[in-house]
A and B are shown apart, each in its own frame.
Chain A
């Protein structure tokens, strides 16, 4: 029975380590303000709009990008997307359609992060698009 303190200390140490993600998220993160409020929305200066409604894009942009990727890269489908909401034609291209607007300086924060990056940081998602596709910064 002489090992009782050692065992209890070991168990306590294990518990602290095992629950680290929980108390780190609720404990320490609360002291910092970063990442707790959604980034301010930015709009293009020429009062342009996105290819679909704002709500639709927020909900579906990732599925739309995946669909474009498959259609353009693999299936050789027509290059143009017809907007469901507005009926306009847009090229199925991340760099040439989305980033033409989302990469504009007025759509970026002071560090040159695009509105995509700001929102993805807030939502704690790391899409892998920018590992290859060229992201415009500080232009």
Chain B
């Protein structure tokens, strides 16, 4: 009887141990399978940008990019005085030490407090903003990796503003265009403005990408002269003398694209890599 009980306890113990170790392994296996199949089904395309920090030291280039974006997307011109945090910005300029706090060591060739860099949404591979959005108003577009924004669905909860480690998202604290009587004179009619209480951010000029895609679909020969869509900021930088190639845009999924080539040939850095968000804006320092 004693021996039986002893044997029973032994068997029960090893069974419990087996269950305890086996289940987590089983679960991990299942979730890995699910994850990989999901990733396989998504397209490998990912739009990305390479920013040349040296070329962007020229204030005229940075200003041209910011202004072009503001005009293109109807951003309000007059940020409220003394409330810089309420400014609506898609692409902006800030100190190197703010943008790359973990890279701003004291032997850097340039003073990290003086060096200005262009910043914008990183269109992360694992976007934190998308994970927290309760209404799916912001999501990672499978076809080309852009982190999109749907103003129709945004409820203005601002979880994404808190989640984004890059400060890329702006909340509309007020109506950006309160007087809508002559709105067609204040704003570009091809792009909507925003209402009070929605969050907005850079979309890599998704509307330009769409038009480019349509042109290319109709006439594939265009790919030779126009291998990639040109966002408004890239176009503006290229127009300024000395600004050619300061910003480059292309598909990371295409190994022959300009962006892939630059990333292969030169060393680049990214913002806050350690956070694991997988940013897709790269900086040539």
Note all chain B residues with C-beta closer than 8 A to A96: 190
Note all chain A residues with C-beta closer than 8 A to B151: 132
A interface, by DSSP: helix, strand, loop or mixed? loop
Task: Output the least CB separation between A104 and chain B (Å).
Answer: 13
B189 part of interface (Cβ distance < 8 Å): yes
Nearest A residue to B198 via CB reads A132
The 6 nearest A-B residue pairs measured at CB: A134-B189, A132-B192, A131-B195, A133-B192, A136-B184, A134-B187
Task: Output the least CB separation between B71 and chain A (Å).
Answer: 13
Contact of B190 among A79, A95, A131, A137 (CB under 8 A): A95
Note all chain B residues with C-beta closer than 8 A to A95: 189-190, 192
**Contact status of A79 and B193, CB under 8 A, knowing A74-B150, A130-B180:** no
Report the contact-size class of chain B (Cβ under 8 Å from the partner).
20 to 34
B194 part of interface (Cβ distance < 8 Å): yes
Q: Are B150 and A134 in contact (CB under 8 A)?
A: no
A121 part of interface (Cβ distance < 8 Å): no
Q: Are B183 and A79 in contact (CB under 8 A)?
A: no
B141 part of interface (Cβ distance < 8 Å): yes
Report the contact-size class of chain A (Cβ under 8 Å from the partner).
10 to 19
Note all chain B residues with C-beta closer than 8 A to A76: 141, 143, 210
Note all chain A residues with C-beta closer than 8 A to B195: 128, 131-132
B264 part of interface (Cβ distance < 8 Å): no
B interface, by DSSP: helix, strand, loop or mixed? loop
Q: Given the complex of chains A and B, what is the CA–CA distance between A137 and B182 in angstroms?
A: 7
Note all chain A residues with C-beta closer than 8 A to B5: none
**Contact status of A79 and B189, CB under 8 A, knowing A130-B180, A132-B195, A134-B184:** no
Q: Are B192 and A79 in contact (CB under 8 A)?
A: no
Q: Are A135 and B152 in contact (CB under 8 A)?
A: no
A139 part of interface (Cβ distance < 8 Å): yes
Q: Are A135 and B180 in contact (CB under 8 A)?
A: yes
A73 part of interface (Cβ distance < 8 Å): yes
Contact of A132 among B143, B184, B188, B193 (CB under 8 A): B193
Q: Are B210 and A79 in contact (CB under 8 A)?
A: yes
Note all chain B residues with C-beta closer than 8 A to A131: 180, 195
A90 part of interface (Cβ distance < 8 Å): no
A-B contact pairs, 12 of them (CB 8 A): A73-B148, A74-B139, A74-B148, A76-B143, A76-B210, A95-B189, A133-B193, A134-B184, A134-B193, A137-B183, A137-B184, A138-B182
B203-228 vs A, CB cutoff 8 Å, 1 = contact: the mask equals 00000001000100000000000000
Interface centre among A74, A96, A136 (most CB of B within 10 A): A74
Note all chain B residues with C-beta closer than 8 A to A132: 151, 192-195
B181 part of interface (Cβ distance < 8 Å): yes
7 more CB-based (< 8 A) A-B contacts, given A133-B192, A137-B183: A74-B139, A74-B150, A76-B210, A95-B192, A131-B180, A132-B194, A138-B182
